[in-house]
Structure 1
Amino acid sequence: MAKRVQARRLDGINQNPWVEFIELASENDVVNLGQGFPDYPPPDFVVEAFQHAISGDFMLYQYTKAFGHPPLTKILASFFGKLLGQEIDPLKNVLVTVGAYGALFTAFQALVDEGDEVIIIEPFFDCYEPMTLMAGGRPVFVSLKPTPTQDGELDSSSNWQLDPKELASKFTSRTKALILNTPSNPLGKVFSKAELELLASLCQQHDVVCIADEVYQWLVYDRHQHVSIASLPGMWERTLTIGSAGKTFSVTGWKVGWVLGPDRLMRYLHTVQENSIFHCPTQTQAAVAWCFQQEQLHFGQPSSYFVQLQQAVQRNRDHMIQSLQSMGLRPIVPQGSYFLITDISHFKSKMPDLPGAVDEPYDRRFIKWMIRNKGLVATPVSFFYSVPHQKHFDHYIRFCFLKDESTLQAMDKKLQEWKDELEA
C-alpha cells in the first residue's frame, strides 16, 4: 500500500489562480494586457550580450560559484554599492538567484521559521503569501487605502497610503520580517522617503528584517524618485534588497535575479541556495554582467538604457491611460512599474450579475466576460489581496503596458469598438 503523503504546510495554499484565465484567453482572439512581460524583442545590446556569452570562454559551460558568477557578483557589488552608499563584498553580500522569484523564495526559506509573522502590504505580489506559508510563517496583512479624489480628477497610486497607527499595530514580538515592494505590483506605487522612514523606524524598533523587492526600480515616472530602504540610516544591516535582470533588461525568460544584504543575513541565504539549486546558469549570468558593464558606461546620461527604457515605457503608460479614459474606465496613474490598475465600479453598478460562482470576486467574473465579449484580457486585482479583503477591492483590474506599439493599437481598436457599442 502506498504511503499517505503528508504536506501539511502546503494545505490551504491555492494552486496558480492564473491558469483559468490563461486557458480562457487562449481559446479566444484576445489582446493580452494581463501578463507582465514585454511582447517585443529586447534591445540590440542585450542580444549582443547573450551572443557574447554563448560564444565566450569554455568555462562559461561549467558550474559557476554557488553565490554567483564572479564577473556578475563583482559588478553588482560595485554598481549597487554606489547607489546604496555601502561597501559591498561580492563574496559575502551578493547572491545570484534564479530570478527574483528565486531570491524571494530563498529569503523566506532562510529567515522565516515556524510561527514567525511576516507583514505583507496589500495589494501584494501574489507569491508573498504562499512563500510565507511554505516557510511555516504566518502572513499579517495591512492595506494601502485610497484617498478620495475630486470628480473628474485622475487618481494616482501616490494617493494610496498606509495608516500609520494600523501599520504599527501589526508589529508584535513574533514579527520576523516585513516585505516591501517599491515600485509596487500591481498598484505602481513608489513609496516616498517619508513613508520609507516610517517603515524603517518600525523595523528598527521591533528588530524586524525588511525584504525589499525592488525589481522595478528603473521604471519610475513623473519626476518621482526611487529610494532604496537599505540606503536609510540603520537599514543596511536589516535589509535584503532584491533585483531582477528580467525586469532591468526586458528579458524575463533569462531568470536571473539577485539579493544584496549584510553578511549576518546573507550567510543563511547562501546555505539555502547551496543545498537546493546550487547555482544559476552560467551563460545568462555572464550575459547580465555584460549588460551591466555596458550600462555602466552610460549611466545617468541620455544614452543610458535605463533612461531610454523609462521614457519609452512612460509613453506606453500615457497611451494606455488615455485609451482607458476614453472608454469610460478610471485608471489609477502609476508612479512606477509597468502595471496600472483601473476602477471598474461604473460597470459593477450597471452589470452586477455577471455569470460565475456566487462567492467569486466581481473582478474575476468581469475579466472572463471581457475575454469572451470584448477580446481583451487583464488581471483581477483581487488576486493581490488576502481572502478577507478581496471583496473590498474587487472593483479593480490590472493592465500591463510594457507592450509593443502594435499591441497598444490593437487595444485601441478593441476599446473603440466597445465604446461604439455603448453609444449605439
Structure 2
Amino acid sequence: MATATTKLQLSQIAPHVVQSEIRSMSVECDRLGGVNLAQGICDTEVPSPVVDRAISAIHEGHNIYTRLDGVAVLRQAIAKKLARDNGIEADPEGEVLVTSGATGGLYATALALLNPGDEVVLFEPFYGYHLNTLLALRMKPVAVPLATHTWELDLDRLRASITPKTRAIIVNTPSNPCGKVFSRKELEAIAELAIEHDLFVFTDEIYEYFVFDGTEHISPASLPGMKERTITISGLSKTFSITGWRVGYLAADRKWTGAIGYFHDLTYVCSPSAFQYGAAAGLLELPRTYYESMSGEYQAKRDLLCSALTDIGMTPSVPTGAYYVLADASRLPGANAKERARFLLRETSVAAVAGTAFFTEGGGENLLRFCFAKREHDLQRACDLLRSLK
C-alpha cells in the first residue's frame, strides 16, 4: 500500500535558507590549504589564566549543567566589568545572563521580546546572523543603509524606516563587517528615536575592545533613559580568542531577563560550565594593559592588511573598530562578488567573503570582506600572497 508523504516537507522558511557564504569560503579555503581571512575565527593565543582556570575547573568537577543564568563568579565578574568599562550598573542576581555566545543571547532575546511579523531595524552592511535570526523567527528585518565607505548614519533614513510595526533596533558597534564604531552623537540620535517610538534596542558589542585610532566605544545602555529598553549583548569569544567555547552574556532590566533566560535554557540549556570559569578568570585576573595592548596589536594588523590591499588596487575602507576590512574588489574578474572571491582564492590562496553576504539584494557586489584576526605570521603570509596579484 502506498504511503502518503505530503506532510513530510521542509518548513516554509527552510527552502530559502542557504549556507553562510562565510562558511562556504572557509570550507573551500581548507580544501585548497589557503589562508582563511574569510571567517572571524580569531586563532590567536588564549590568555594563560583563561586556559588554566578552565582546565582546573574540569578537574574540580565543574562539568555539569549550571544555573540557567550562569555561574555566580562569572556573572559577578561581568557585572564588575560592565560598571568599569561600559558605564552600566547591572545586578548579577537578576540582570546578567550568561549565554551560548552572543549569538545565543540575540536568539533568546528575539524569542522572548518579539513576535512573528514584528519589524526590526538593522544597519547595512549588517552581520548575516542578525538578519537571518530574525528571518528564522518570522520577524521582518528592515535594513537602513549606512553611507558607502564612510559608514555614517543617515538619521532621516532611519526615521523613515520606523513604522507602527517596528519593535526594535539592532546596533552592532564596533561593527562586523565594516568596522564602524557608532559615535556618541549617533547613538544619542538612535536613543532619542527609540524613546520617542517606545522601541527596544538590542546591541551586539562583542568587538568592544577592538577600537583603533583613539576611538571610543560607547554602550547605548549607558545613555540617559536607555537602560530599561536596551538589551546589551556581548561575550568573551573575541576578547580571549575562545570563539569555540561559546561564552557570551547579556545585561538587561530584570523585567526582561526572566523570559530571555527561559528561552535560552530551552534552546541551549547553558554555556559550557568549565569554560565559564575560565572566562571569569580572564575578566578578574587580566590587567587593563591586556586590553590596551590588544587594541594596539590589532591596529597594527589592520594597517598591515590595508597596506597590502592598497598595493594591489583593492582600496580598503579602513575600519575604526572590530577586525574586518571591506575592500573594493571591482578590479578582480567575475560577474559578481562570489565569483571575485573565488578568483582571489584560486589565484592567491587567500579566502575572503563576498560583500553580498552583508547587504540586501543587489548590494556589496564590488566588495570583499577580509578578517585580520590571525597570528602575525599567517597574516603576513596572506599579505605576501595578495601582493602576488600586482
TM-score with structure 1 setting the length: 0.87
More off after superposition, 176-185 vs 277-286: 277-286
Q: Deviations over 1:335-371 (max 9, x none)?
A: 00011111123x15xx4xx3x6xxxxx1111011111
* Change in 2 beyond 3 A, CA 1:275/1:416: closer
Corresponding residue for 1:93? 95
Q: Give the Å deviation of 1:199.
A: 0.6
For the 8 Å contact 1:112–1:135, the answer to whether it is kept is no
Cα RMSD (Å): 1.7
SS in 2 for 1:61: coil
For the 8 Å contact 1:246–1:252, the answer to whether it is kept is yes
Corresponding residue for 1:359? none
Q: Deviations over 1:46-101 (max 9, x none)?
A: 32232332233x3x123211111111111111221344444311121111111111
Corresponding residue for 1:226? 217
Q: Give 1:5-404 correspondences, 5 Å limit.
A: 5=9, 7-56=11-60, 58=61, 60-146=62-148, 159-295=150-286, 298-299=287-288, 304-345=289-330, 347=331, 351=333, 354=334, 362-387=336-361, 389-390=362-363, 393-404=364-375
1:415 matched to 2:349? The reply is: no
Q: Give the Å deviation of 1:6.
A: 5.6
* Change in 2 beyond 3 A, CA 1:287/1:20: closer
* Change in 2 beyond 3 A, CA 1:31/1:170: same
Q: Give the Å deviation of 1:11.
A: 4.9
Unaligned runs of at least 5 residues, structure 2: none
SS in 1 for 2:102: helix
Corresponding residue for 1:154? none
Q: Deviations over 1:272-322 (max 9, x none)?
A: 123332222210111111111103xx23xxxx2111111111111111111
Q: Give the Å deviation of 1:10.
A: 4.1
- Percent of residue pairs identical: 33
Q: Distance in 2 between matches of 1:81 and 1:123?
A: 30
Corresponding residue for 1:149? none
Q: In the comparison of the two structures, how many residue pairs are matched? A: 386
Q: Distance in 1 between matches of 2:87 and 2:378?
A: 40
Q: Give the Å deviation of 1:19.
A: 4.3
Q: Distance in 1 between matches of 2:44 and 2:282?
A: 18
SS in 1 for 2:267: coil
Q: Distance in 2 between matches of 1:313 and 1:173?
A: 42
TM-score with structure 2 setting the length: 0.94
Q: Distance in 2 between matches of 1:88 and 1:308?
A: 27
Amino acid at match of 1:190: V
SS in 1 for 2:268: coil
SS in 2 for 1:8: coil
Q: Distance in 1 between matches of 2:220 and 2:154?
A: 19
* Change in 2 beyond 3 A, CA 1:189/1:87: closer
For the 8 Å contact 1:112–1:132, the answer to whether it is kept is no
Q: Distance in 2 between matches of 1:14 and 1:127?
A: 12
